[in-house]
Amino acid sequence: MAEVSGPRAALTDFRVGRHKDFLHLMFQFSGEVPFRGPTVIGKGRLSLSFEQAKSACPLRHLRSRFNEIKEILCFRNESGFEIEVEFSHPYFHFKSYVLNRPFRVIVDVYKTNFPTKGFIDSLADGVRAMIKEGSYNKALSALEPFISDPLAYPTPFSDYLVLLCWT
């Protein structure tokens, strides 16, 4: 997470671009912003938390014209705001980076046909954070698709995910 002091920067632009092998999500701010994430928070879901930031968006559903994205939610939290993106495909891996002048947080999302180790590790990190903040129902909801259907996921995968989350 980047460390920033001074006036709160605002989200000034949000764009989605489709490239040959990935979706490109771009969050542009009026200044530098500390952030957490991206973190997998469930099957097909990704979250970013922007600390000490304000949003120029109306903090409601953001829209995307790409059918790879089901929903984009933007809402306030204690220290800034959070964006959750739900994709139409359940599994993905991502690469994130920051650009300056103007300050932008970029997330490139690559569709996969199976849960990758990076996806599982990020999901486990997200579930651990939910448990730490006392959001037990949210944590169980994130895990439920992976542990409720034994035919959909191999036992070692489900066991590994549960072990990662609860340690």
Tens digits of per-residue pLDDT, 78-110?
Answer: 788 889 999 988 888 899 999 999 999 999 999
Fold of the domain built from segment(s) 1-113: Immunoglobulin-like (2.60.40)
CA distances from 37 to 151, 152, 157 (A): 31, 27, 23
> Among 10, 16, 6, 30, which residue's Cα sits nearest to residue 108?
16
> Among 90, 82, 88, which residue's Cα sits nearest to residue 135?
82
Is residue 130 packed enough to be buried (19+ CB in 10 Å), middle (13-18) or exposed (0-12)?
buried
Average pLDDT of the chain to the nearest whole number: 79
pTM equals: 0.73
Mean pLDDT, range 130-152, rounded to an integer: 74
In what side-by-side order are the strands of the sheet with 92-99? 53-55, 9-18, 23-29, 104-111, 92-99
Q: Please tell me the least confidently modeled range out of 29-38, 73-82, 120-129, 153-162.
A: 153-162
In what side-by-side order are the strands of the sheet with 35-42? 35-42, 45-51, 80-87, 69-76
H helix or E strand, kind and range, residue 121: helix 117-132
Determine how β-strand 45-51 pairs with β-strand 9-18: unpaired
**Residue-wise pLDDT tens digits, 104-134:** 999 999 988 877 777 777 777 888 888 888 8
Q: What is the share, in percent, of the chain residues with pLDDT greater than 90? A: 22
> Among 159, 82, 89, 87, which residue's Cα sits nearest to residue 126?
82
Domain ranges in the chain are 1-113, 115-167
- Which residue reads 């549960």 in tokens? 162
